[in-house]
A = this chain, B = another copy of it.
Amino acid sequence: MKLAVIYDSKTGNTRQAAEWIAEGMSRIANVDAHAFSIDAVDTAFIGEAKGVVIGCPSYMATMTPDMRTWLMQGGKLGLAGKLGGAFATEQYTHGGGEMVIQSILTNELVFGMLCYSGGASLGKPIIHMGPIGVNGNVETHNGMEHYRENFLVYGERFAQKAAELFA
């Protein structure tokens, strides 16, 4: 079963998060997971994928213009019926990552996707709408690495649900 992560990354932090999600997805048996930059999406792979997770940094508490532009064409990829997820990176705890995730999920609903995060139903870590990494990390000064486990677990849960539904 193919699963994809699609990201817009400017500094490499969001790419890192995307790759962790794909790594977490790969923990589930028979999953072939890949992360693609919006500049280099393998549309054939996406077409065969049963689930797609989309993410980008928060710019001014909103998704990046490049992601917004890319999403306008996302529907052409035939995403309807696939499992959908979202993630974000931000520079501060109050930096807008949740607004980004909520906007991406809204777009995914419009594509006809099935949105899923697992939420609080699978115990800790509780991941409400999707995982967020604080990349500037003024709070902890230890960078994205601190959020690694959340992205891995989120990817694993997403793949587990996709396997239950579609495998």
Measuring CB to CB, which residues of chain A are less than 8 angstroms from any residue of chain B? Answer: 59-63, 65, 68-69, 71-72, 75, 80-81, 83, 91-99, 101-103, 105-107, 109-122, 125-132, 134, 138-140, 146-147, 150, 161, 164-165
Q: What is the CA–CA distance of A92 and B113 in the complex, to the nearest angstrom? A: 20
Q: What is the CA–CA distance of A98 and B92 in the complex, to the nearest angstrom? A: 12
- When the two chains form their complex, are residues A106 and B139 in contact, meaning their CB atoms are under 8 A apart? no
Q: Give which listed residue, B65, B71, B121, contacts A111 with CB less than 8 A.
A: B121
Copies in the complex: 4
Q: Give which listed residue, B72, B112, B128, contacts A65 with CB less than 8 A.
A: B72
Is chain A's interface secondary structure helix, strand, loop, or mixed overall?
mixed
- When the two chains form their complex, are residues B106 and A112 in contact, meaning their CB atoms are under 8 A apart? no
In the complex formed, the residue of B with least CB distance to A134 is: B93
- When the two chains form their complex, are residues B138 and A139 in contact, meaning their CB atoms are under 8 A apart? no
Q: A94-B101, A111-B119 are in contact. List 13 more A-B contacts (CB 8 A).
A: A60-B128, A61-B110, A62-B107, A65-B72, A68-B68, A93-B97, A96-B128, A98-B98, A99-B103, A99-B106, A102-B102, A109-B128, A139-B140
